[in-house]
Structure 1
């Protein structure tokens, strides 16, 4: 009994912090999503009214929300596979016996993760500048026409996807590298003795044993990519023609531009449901892959 009380005593501070800074704000946001909390209610709580599911209905009936959702799904659908492919490729290279200076490359590839996203986004905005950017300078040096990377609706989202993949793949790379190093080397040696090539070892040994780690990394990456905000906010302000306008950007505008905090909270929980559905699909695909 004393051991149990001691355990709760050790856990209690962390639980208090989680409850105060996570559970309580989430519960408050859930309550706000069922009210018409706006600038008038902020000045006087007497103006606050309970509206039920009206905020959710209004958000789902807003064309701008569906534009933001389509852009977010595009960002997730292209950016997540690109980021995971880069992370897995880099992890396989760093895990190779032929690789040299592993510590240096591991640090260099992980460095973008710890940089400030706003500062790096500003740098990338100038790198992709139409007239003065280094990228277009390289293209014109090779004889190509300059591209309006951030001012053309066809190129703005791919540019942000490239930036996000570069910024985030190092985190997944470190986790995948740890998973690769946990695979017993005896399995690869036995397969090599049996005549299995590099591709066969990757397909039948590495990837199946790395599947749980890949699942965790995929869930983390998907959840992060659904929360697209800082990149378009700094680089394009959601433009051009709302081509980089995301769900989180829509929520920000509703809450802090128009002060419709009830609708902003409703948008946040709609995004939560979307991430929950995406996570469930990943878990189902993972179970089917494991069963196969």
Structure 2
């Protein structure tokens, strides 16, 4: 055997011994203490999750499943639920004109109020984006209504402002416009509710402003060098780059609009009037369940509302590829 071959064999044996020694070191051994420590850490993680799991199942999943069961029953709290199948759903769409009116009013409120809110929030956000002096003050001033807009006190003030001989009525009378109180007028109370929703655009505006801050200024400079005016820059740069934020605000705005309740309840004194024009589906659900004691029927209305919102969210997610543009995405 040659000297070179001998060296190769000896070197290989030494490498094998070193590898065996490394594998037998303490840090590579599967020690029982290490396994116990890992099990304790895993159990600790699940222990921290226990309060959330209790709340999730006890306050969300179980009530949802039970309300689904109640939607197929006749239930008035004082008597056990009685199974009636799909009678609540059939009644809802065939023999309950108040539900149809409530659904129509809710859709008008959602489809008109949400786009106006988004447009107003985007317009103010763009103004604040191009203004440095006093931007913090104006941002806080516009954001403040969203913090208190859903409160009972603001709804009471809104009812007083748009009521008979209120500030809005008196101001319009000075200009020769005599509309009377908006709250008591069936044709004006819904616009007053939409104005209240638009007034609370602060949180949406802040999100839009954060999105505008992330748009590279180089894109605007390149578009301006190509001769694009302000409208073309807005359409070709701002809207595509801001489309993920628009999608987010649109989705949350639609879901929130379907859930309007407190302002309608306060302004109408819980009646849904005048002429049922503030009888949104959430208020109608409340009246059926807690005023009339028809808990089974109210549960069915709640599930119809949930299904409608889920369908709208599904449509938005399915169509976002045609108008939402994400950075780095090739199409």
TM-score (norm 2): 0.79
Work out whether residues 247 and 324 of structure 2, in 8 Å CA contact, stay in contact via their aligned partners in 1.
no
Partner of 2:206: 174
Matches of residues 14-53 of structure 1 in structure 2 within 5 Å?
Answer: 14-41=52-79, 47-53=80-86
Shift of 1:58: 1.9
Equivalent of 2:104 in 70, 78, 84:
70
> RMSD across aligned C-alpha pairs, in angstroms?
2.1
Matches of residues 54-203 of structure 1 in structure 2 within 5 Å?
Answer: 54-61=87-94, 62-96=96-130, 98-115=131-148, 116-131=150-165, 133-167=166-200, 169-203=201-235
Partner of 2:286: 252
> 1:95-150, CA deviations, whole angstroms, 9 ceiling, x for partnerless residues?
11x3431111111111111115211010011111222x111121122232243311
Shift of 1:174: 1.4
Partner of 1:44: none
TM-score (norm 1): 0.89
Unaligned ranges ≥5, structure 2: 1-34, 326-330
Shift of 1:245: 1.0
Work out whether residues 244 and 324 of structure 2, in 8 Å CA contact, stay in contact via their aligned partners in 1.
no
| 2:247 pairs with 1:215 | yes
Change (3 A) 1:179 1:16: farther
**CA distance in 2 between partners of 1:32 and 1:287 (Å):** 38
Partner of 2:322: 288
**Secondary structure at the residue paired with 1:228?**
coil
Q: Which has the higher contact order (CA 8 A, sep 6+)?
A: 1
Shift of 1:287: 2.4
> 1:13-57, CA deviations, whole angstroms, 9 ceiling, x for partnerless residues?
43333223222222221122122221332xxxxx32222222222
Work out whether residues 211 and 245 of structure 2, in 8 Å CA contact, stay in contact via their aligned partners in 1.
yes
Total equivalences in the alignment: 284
Work out whether residues 70 and 81 of structure 2, in 8 Å CA contact, stay in contact via their aligned partners in 1.
no
Change (3 A) 1:139 1:20: same
Shift of 1:93: 1.2
Shift of 1:190: 2.7
Work out whether residues 34 and 50 of structure 1, in 8 Å CA contact, stay in contact via their aligned partners in 2.
yes
Which has the greater radius of gyration?
Answer: 2
Shift of 1:11: 4.4
**Secondary structure at the residue paired with 1:40?**
coil
> 1:51-96, CA deviations, whole angstroms, 9 ceiling, x for partnerless residues?
2222222222211100100110111111011111111111111111
**CA distance in 2 between partners of 1:8 and 1:210 (Å):** 39
**CA distance in 1 between partners of 2:265 and 2:244 (Å):** 34
**CA distance in 2 between partners of 1:273 and 1:178 (Å):** 32
Change (3 A) 1:94 1:14: farther
